Structure 1
Amino acid sequence: MQTRSEETRLIFLRGNAGSGKTTVARRVQQLYGHGLAVIEQDMFRDITLRETGVPGPLTRPLLATAARQVLDSGHHLIVEGLLTTPRWEDVLAALAADHRGRTFGFYLAVPFDETVRRHSTRHKATMFGAAEMREWWREEDRLTCLVEETVDHTSTVEESASRILKECGLTPGSGCAL
């Protein structure tokens, strides 16, 4: 089932835990304005469904359904999360194939030690630590269904967000004011 708008942008923002996905996605949303939604994998898994570890049977279809609804409403969309290739590539490939607008992928390439350092500054630092992050770590976990642009660990949040908007053809401040 294709999403109806050819004008919408679907953006996948992936990377390891602590790489800055949520921070960058939220900054892109702030810069653009109303009309660009962010779906956080962690929100569905940790908050909505209260799952830990491997996503349960509802996370994948719930995220995919929400993404389709957002795109069908005419909003641009960032789907962000670990979204590891073995567990998520089929879902992301189906979303990309069904999306009539343009689809983009960005991969935050941040070294392990830097993800641990960044994680130590977040509220989630009490929920898990370096040992768990090491277990989840996937070196260069790239999609095969879509070319993902690399966002280097030296890129600031502001630089990363501005680059994503530019490469996706979105103008900062062009969303509707709330």
Structure 2
Amino acid sequence: MIEQDHARRVILREHGGGDDGVAPGFIAAMVRAALDGGYHVIVEGILHTGQYGAHLRALLAEHPGPTACFYLDVTFDETVRRHLRREESIPVGPETMRSWYTARDLLGVPGEVLIPEDMNFEDVVTTILHTSGLAQAMPSAPCPTRCARCAEKAETA
């Protein structure tokens, strides 16, 4: 799981919002490295199409395996309500959040799935797992094939 907010705010210490940010390319590089390493990858976050769209479309087009794209379609009021309930909400008010909010900021790729705001958490997870194919996929942990320590543990188990 690659979390846009963590990569941008914590690792890079970027505030976001500008066209000169490093985060979109950095996140794309993280995704490519994980995919090249044989991992299943989920990219999560508010990935504004203006800043992240080209990178995300390239990742989807380049990846030879299955891909899936989901958009959580929530109103501004619901966005504020969910933000206020977060364990680690950032200290911003609704007026600041409104300047960040973009309704229906879709990527516009084939098969993009809209998840409505009234869908409960369990149904969202089930939808993502089954639509993406991850529900049937074997866990992807290639470390035992690369790491001598993990390979040794696998042999003794």
Greater share of strand:
1
Q: CA deviation at 1:176?
A: 6.5
Please identify the structure whose Cα radius of gyration is greater.
2
Higher-RCO chain (CA-CA 8 Å, sequence separation at least 6): 1
Please give the per-residue CA displacement for 1:136-162, whole angstroms capped at 9, x wherever unaligned.
111111113444101111111111011
Question: Which of these residues, 76, 95, 119, is aligned with residue 155 of structure 1?
Answer: 119
Letter in 2 for 1:113: D
Aligned mates of 1:57, 1:176 — CA distance in 2: 31
Q: Residues 80 and 94 of structure 2 are in contact (CA less than 8 Å); yes or no, is this contact kept in structure 1?
A: yes
Question: Which of these residues, 43, 47, 61, is aligned with residue 10 of structure 2?
Answer: 47
Normalised TM-score (structure 1): 0.71
Aligned mates of 1:173, 1:91 — CA distance in 2: 25
Q: 1:121-140 alignment to 2 at 5 Å?
A: 121-140=85-104
Letter in 1 for 2:53: E
Aligned mates of 1:169, 1:126 — CA distance in 2: 33
Name which of structure 1's ranges 103-112 and 55-64 shifts more when overlaid on structure 2: 55-64
Q: CA deviation at 1:53?
A: 3.0
Aligned length: 140
Q: CA deviation at 1:173?
A: 8.9
Tell me the residue number matched to 2:145: none
Aligned mates of 1:71, 1:148 — CA distance in 2: 20
Normalised TM-score (structure 2): 0.80
Greater share of helix:
2
Aligned mates of 2:106, 2:119 — CA distance in 1: 19
Q: CA deviation at 1:124?
A: 3.9
Q: Residues 89 and 145 of structure 1 are in contact (CA less than 8 Å); yes or no, is this contact kept in structure 2?
A: no
Please give the per-residue CA displacement for 1:64-116, whole angstroms capped at 9, x wherever unaligned.
11100111111111111111111111101111111011111110011111111
Structure 1 residues 44, 176: closer, same or farther in 2, change over 3 A? closer
Question: Which of these residues, 32, 57, 63, is aligned with residue 68 of structure 1?
Answer: 32
Structure 1 residues 65, 173: closer, same or farther in 2, change over 3 A? closer
Structure 1 unaligned regions, length at least 5: 1-37
Aligned mates of 1:176, 1:143 — CA distance in 2: 26
Q: Residues 64 and 95 of structure 1 are in contact (CA less than 8 Å); yes or no, is this contact kept in structure 2?
A: yes
Q: Could you list the structure 1 runs, at least 4 aligned residues long, displaced by more than 4 angstroms after superposition.
A: none
Structure 2 unaligned regions, length at least 5: 142-157
Q: 1:97-176 alignment to 2 at 5 Å?
A: 97-171=61-135, 174-175=138-139
Q: CA deviation at 1:128?
A: 1.5
Letter in 2 for 1:75: Y
Q: Residues 39 and 140 of structure 2 are in contact (CA less than 8 Å); yes or no, is this contact kept in structure 1?
A: no
